[in-house]
Structure 1
Amino acid sequence: MRIATWNVNSVNARLPTVLAWLEAAQPDVVGFQEIKCLDEKFPREAFESLGYNVETNGQKTYNGVALLSKHPLSDVRRGLPGVDASGFEAEFEQARYIEAVIEAPRPVRIGCIYLPNGNPIGTEKFAYKLAWMDRLQAHAKALLLQEEAFTLCGDYNVIPTPDDAKNPSAWVNDALFQPESRAAFRALNNLGLSEAGELGKQPLGTYTFWDYQAGAWQRDHGIRIDFHLLSPQAADRFVGIETHREARDMEKPSDHVPVVVELED
């Protein structure tokens, strides 16, 4: 089973590019982030024509996530459970999480994540990022108790280590590279999840995002912020990982590229 995660940065604006990549790469399951549309505006028919079942958690203009699967989807959840520890109430809720069981012969649960950016530091946005990560950690703990194969995949908006940036000094004042963000990401991993890039021994410089500004792509000033975190049961089925750098060179590309994990059927 090939499972992709991809921040598409507006699914309608980049639909021909997204469809072309799907037809070439043929993933079985895809988690999209930043679809930037309401559920009813998602181009469902275009993906169904490629054989995918579709579930969305959309939001007008911003955010939004979706799951596509060539197998049936069940037990669909939209949004993380609970109110976070910092007391953020429903008015702060954003469409950043969707989860479902992929009903393959050997099922796997997929959580698709678009973690808050958190900039600028010292504002409510950074507090929301950290509070959202607390909620994600609590949900991951609950999922681990079920002892099933799952991946929490998506755009984590965290640069975990200096090795995950071509130019770490450029990010020292960014929410993605703050000690608090990095510690929260480590805490999530330390629950017993395996980061697929480490399992697959991906080389340094395997980036997943290049800004549109200042020639970042041309100079390879990238960062690695898109991840699959696998439960022990999913890690036991791990075959390999691919980062599809070529997608950044397609016509009208996203600033992220797809990351594909393969699990044994």
Structure 2
Amino acid sequence: MPRTTTASFPSVELHNRSGKGPVVILCEHASPDIPEPYHDLGLDPAHRFSHAAWDPGARDVAMALSRALDAPLVASRVSRLVYDCNRPPEAASAMPERSEVVDVPGNRNLTEAQRAQRIESVYRPFCTAVTQRLEERAASHLPTALITVHSFTPDYHGKPRTVEIGILHDADRRLADAMLAQSHRLAHRQIRRNDPYGPEDGVTHSLKLHGIGHGLANVMIEIRNDLLGTPADASTMADELLLLIEPALAELGFEIPIRGDAHDA
């Protein structure tokens, strides 16, 4: 499916903008793309398309959820190594000099002007696109929950991770609790709360800014990326996640749409 962008926000990808389902979906690490002026940030070629640069499979899952839930999707079209849209500008990890074992030479000794340029060209447009979707829905009196979709590496600093699906939350745990209450529907999966990351790791920025900040029930879904090796795998995972998401939304009083493909707008 072709990507939908706007001339004003070339760093942001929008899908199903007018979707009427009960959810807005974010995918902050959807792309490994590094714009040409950044010269691949000096990355070792072996790391150029690694998990350090993006969340493999997350966009495919987010797209499938967008279609199933008739949900608007906002995704970044720029690698998180240029700017991580799930981090505030003051965070060192917004433009990291090192990501796990990956050195990022192009992020060393950035000037204030260079940092400001990335904030204005990547982070601000993403936040503006999300805010616009939420304000449009509020004006149309559409009940809304916020879901962010991520993937994580099976091994971190040489240690294997057994968790397969992480259900993450910050102070507002309504949607996470409701989804975890349905985890028996996926008895074959290792599903955990705030694992492999949690609020203490600084990963709930989007939940706090766009979810809690707008009074919306919200959750972050983390999927181990070896389960997302192909588009078919991502589609299967999306179907499994819907077994948690749909009854959780219903429990919170949201109306679940009849399944069907959504259209880009």
Question: Fold match, TM over 0.5?
Answer: no
Q: Relative contact order, CA 8 A, sep 6+: which one is greater?
A: 2
- TM-score, normalised to structure 1's length? 0.32
Identify the structure with the greater helix proportion: 2
